[in-house]
Structure 1
């Protein structure tokens, strides 16, 4: 097998000005369209994690790479790992779309499919349990552990640099607000911290999903995939965030569909959630707003873009156009909600200490 160095081929997605009026009219914001970069958003972190592991001797030549994924990282790993000469086994779950399963297999990945969610930790914990069993039977396999691997965040420094260069190319010398969806914490931390070095006054807004426990809500069933978590990933830099929004699936569906009709750049749950909050921030007169659209629409044609699927779940009803406000991240919420007091995990146990932000 010829090993192709993928470094120069990862990234370099376009930066596009978005004016689609979601969730209301706004003056526009900028979005990095990561689905148009080779390998997608998470090929950046896959490259960083695997090259780092190879450099440290943790990933041996030809060793198998094993990881849990809801889909997007799987594409990045399949693209990067096999270019570096490593077979890939991906632990996925029963809710992964058939089209994504087919794509991952077409890219050469072996799939281990978990058919039942964990009673408390949901699909995410069930995947991690299966992954542990695989590692126990293959001593030479390498687990990147995207949730707690600092190389994950480091892989997105180049994305931040591309944002700076892209804005400069259109005559904008700084961004005032960064809106980032949060799952493993990789791209939000990598991009956010790097941009704060360039623009110290940058305001950073985290976007989570209803049912996610990352920022203090109790874990629950999440209809939205690609953002949110049933665990507290070590990569999340809580002190970095000035505020957090939990976005619901109705708002995300509306955003994705409106973007498809009015802007021709759209995607899935994390893209719709990020677009909702970025449009809201732009409408507040917050200055120059930039966000990241993590994925494209292809895997969501039978969900977000399927009228019958959405109608059966009440997702075509009118969405909220502004968030509900709470003072404490632990206050219960069931709709798109904003909180300007961000808590770190040690504070969520109840000691009241608040992360700086």
Structure 2
């Protein structure tokens, strides 16, 4: 029998074998639409060993943990159910005396930290971890359902990495990076409501494509973000189409000349920065709600004069609402309200 790599309980009755340790984590696959993550810098914190971009590495030998079923059952709903179930893990192997539990792909350092917490070995638990390690711990906590046992440590770790939370300023107008995805995971697993609100808003406004999940347990959040993004973009494009049609049929503008001038101006402004996707089909790749609204802010209005009095014509694009704020509100596209209440019904 192989000697355990880590003996969390020298008299333990559980042998957890981690297969394929340190597998690529949160692999960054959407490089064409989203910026690459920054290089992973050296730190005094406990850090994860896998590369940020999830590059493949040589397969490593299994890592074994000698653990206590009592500690695991008390701290983790996952293990409590396992040891009370009819599964093979619930019965000790007669030849070794151990409950044999298998795991795979986890980061061994993250798993060791979690097991130290679950076995009350507080002196061995690091007081500071980097964002990568915190994200890997979040995946483990979510999988093994041991949120309560880690609460005090999360409160210790978060202040040291909180400066890396993506903000509206850092993401404006069209950036959505890997760190944002990791923070969405961390905020969801550890119920960090303030951070959750911030990263959810950033994702809804600045993601230029369907939010990548990177195989993390954030599917429900990604679905809400994608729904809000598509709903808002479709609404904005519908408003622009409505103005084009109104200028074309003469229902907007004070005269034929006025409608023609505004129609030509809006058509050229929309074509210039490629506000509308070429195919006009979901998921509008390359367009975030913030980038589209910011581009529309720059449309302005044509300036032209009557020959008889040399006065500038008063009619403006969007009736003067150059930011489309009024029209967006009228169509039920209040992005802030949707972010606050993703289930709110819209017109």
Same fold (TM > 0.5) = no
The structure whose Rg is larger is 2
Q: Which has the higher helix share?
A: 2
Name the structure, 1 or 2, with higher relative contact order (CA <8 Å, separation 6+).
1
User: What TM-score comes out, normalization by structure 1 length?
Assistant: 0.26
